[in-house]
Structure 1
C-alpha cells in the first residue's frame, strides 16, 4: 500500500464529471480514475466508487457521458464531488441535455465530452470499471484548455467515502 501511495502521490491526472441515466433517474459524480485504454477499437475506462449514488444508477445504464473540466470549473467539481445525489439534484440549476440516444445527461458547459456505450464492467475492489465505446462527442474548439487536475480538487470533502 505504501509503495502505491508513493507512486500515486506524484501523479496529477485530469478530473472528469461522469453522468449516467437509467429510467427516470440520473446522476453524476467527479471522477479521477479514468483513462483511454485502447486505440483500436477506441475504448475508455471509467472507475466509479461502489459507495457512490452515480454507481447505483450506472449499474443499470447503457451509456455514460464523460466530461472534461477546465481548471476554472472547481465549483462544478465541488458540486459533483462533494455533494451526493442521495441528498441533492445536481442537475437542477445546470444547463444540460439528453444525448441523441436519450441516454446520460450532457452538460452544456463542458470543454469536451463523449458519450460511451457500456461494453463491460470490471470489479476492481471498492470501484467498478466501466469500459466505454465512444458513440458521440464534442469539444470546445481548436484551443486546448487548461484542464482541472487532481491537485486542484485535493481539498474537496467527498460526498461519499471511497
Structure 2
C-alpha cells in the first residue's frame, strides 16, 4: 500500500511492580535508539498506523491499549523516497505520537531492529536519538506520574 504523508511514533511502556519501564529499540539501518516509528499508509488514520506499526515492530499477537499523546513533530518531506507521490507542496510530514501499555505482554522485535532495552525514564531519555521521541517519552512519563493517561483509542 502506498505511503501517506504522515509519520507515527509509539512509546512502549510497562509496569513492573510500582515502577515503570520504557522500551527503546535500536534501529538496524541507522544504529540509533528510538521508539517504534513508521509511516502511515494511504487510507489509514494515525491511530491505525500506530497500532499496525506496533504490531509489526514488536511482534504483538493481540490488541493492547494504545493511548494518544499530545506530542507532535514535523519531519522534512525530503527524507522520504515517497515524496514525489505526495501532493505538490508537501514540505513537512506531521508525526503523531502514541503510547502503548505492554505490561505482561511478550514482544519479539522485527528485523528492523537489532535490540530492545527496557529502561527507567532517565536512562531511556538519554538513549533516544530523536528530540520528538524524547518529548513524547517526557509527556508519557509526566502523565503516568499524574495518573492522567487519555482514554485508549479504538
Scaled by the length of structure 1, the TM-score of the pair is 0.29
Choose between structure 1 and 2 for higher RCO, CA contacts under 8 A separated by at least 6 residues: 2
Scaled by the length of structure 2, the TM-score of the pair is 0.30
Bigger helix fraction = 2
